[in-house]
Amino acid sequence: MNKERLLKHLVLLMFFIFIADLLAKTFYWYYTVWWFDIVMHFISGFWVGLFFLYVFYDKNTFFRKFTAVILGVLLIGILWEIFEVYLNVVSLESFSIKDTALDMFFDLAGGLSMMFYYSKRIVGKQENIV
């Protein structure tokens, strides 16, 4: 998979996340559908992993790409959770460590799934071509 095709996947997934988030806020799915937040964190972790793969596409070996993707997903997930904690403090809502841990888990699960997809689907096809 070349960088242009990777960029197309990245942009399409970004628009999908944007539309899903817009619909979720319009129809209150974050409050009425208990698992919707989990799905969004998983897909967002996949997207962040895809973004870091795009950034480190030609520069490193698979292990370095894998490390960069996982650390990138972890960094963005931690920053997002800090933002959510800040919003909870400002809005005087209760903070849940369980929710934060679950969100981080699914962020990482999305990033790992993206690397699995990359290794089986993209790298595997390139080996069959050569």
Q: How far is the CA of 84 from the CAs of 6, 51, 73, 79, 124, in angstroms?
A: 30, 22, 16, 9, 38
Integer Cα distance of 6 and 4 in angstroms: 5
The domain ranges of the chain are 3-129
Task: Tabulate helix, strand, coil % of the chain (nearest 5).
Answer: 85, 0, 15
CB 45 within 8 Å of CB 109: yes
Integer Cα distance of 119 and 78 in angstroms: 25
pLDDT by residue for the chain (130 residues), tens only, comes to 578 888 998 999 999 999 999 999 999 999 999 999 999 999 999 999 999 999 887 766 788 888 989 999 999 999 999 998 888 887 777 888 899 999 999 999 999 999 998 888 766 565 444 4
